[in-house]
Structure 1
């Protein structure tokens, strides 16, 4: 990836279009939003695979970022992320979800990359 400076931040060309990144909401994604999005979507993708391997395919997975806690005294660093998964599927067994959550966190490269620096809380609900 290559990033070029713009008047309001940086941008990069991707196969899906231009990604604008800026410290101001009105000019692009903020860097912390991309970090949180990476953790959330990586977790969702891994969860989907785990559910498929356990023969409990998800019809839908929704991820809500319930909390992002940042520390204004240390460069506004991200210290906590709370992700809430809403999983819909007729074959999903509630009793197996703790193991699904464990495997999801263990196999998500983004969670594993930040786990010692960011407290990641993951909760879920299953809708049949």
Structure 2
């Protein structure tokens, strides 16, 4: 990826379009937002594939991701809690626990930061 300086941040042309990144969310995505989004959506995508391979009836997956940052250390992200709300039919708690373990093992973004950011994943099943 190539980034060019703009008046209020940096931009990059990616396949999907123009990515604006700035420390001021009035002018683009903040870097920590992109980090949290990458971890949450990577996990969600992997979880979705796993559930599809298991042929489970999934109607929807909602993801809530919250980051805890340390102001004393340059606002470093210390923890991210990723909570999945999975809507489907005949979903079993034990099957979901196994799917979550596989998700963590196969999400490249989680694996990339696992030694520096604490990632907590939880889920709830909604019929």
Normalising by the smaller structure, the TM-score range is over 0.9
Structure 1 SS opposite 2:26: helix
- For residues 32-91 of structure 1, give each alpha carbon's deviation from its aligned partner in whole angstroms, at most 9, with x where no partner exists: 0000000000000000011112221421110011x3111112121100000110001114
Gaps of 5+ in 2: none
Paired positions, count: 127
Contact 1:56 1:93 in 2 (8 A): no
Deviates more, 1:52-61 or 1:37-46: 52-61
Taking the TM superposition and a 5 Å limit, the aligned residue runs for 1:98-117 are 98-117=97-116
> TM-score, normalising length from structure 1?
0.94
Counterpart of 1:92? 91
Q: Over the residues paired in the alignment, what is the CA RMSD in angstroms? A: 1.0
Gaps of 5+ in 1: none
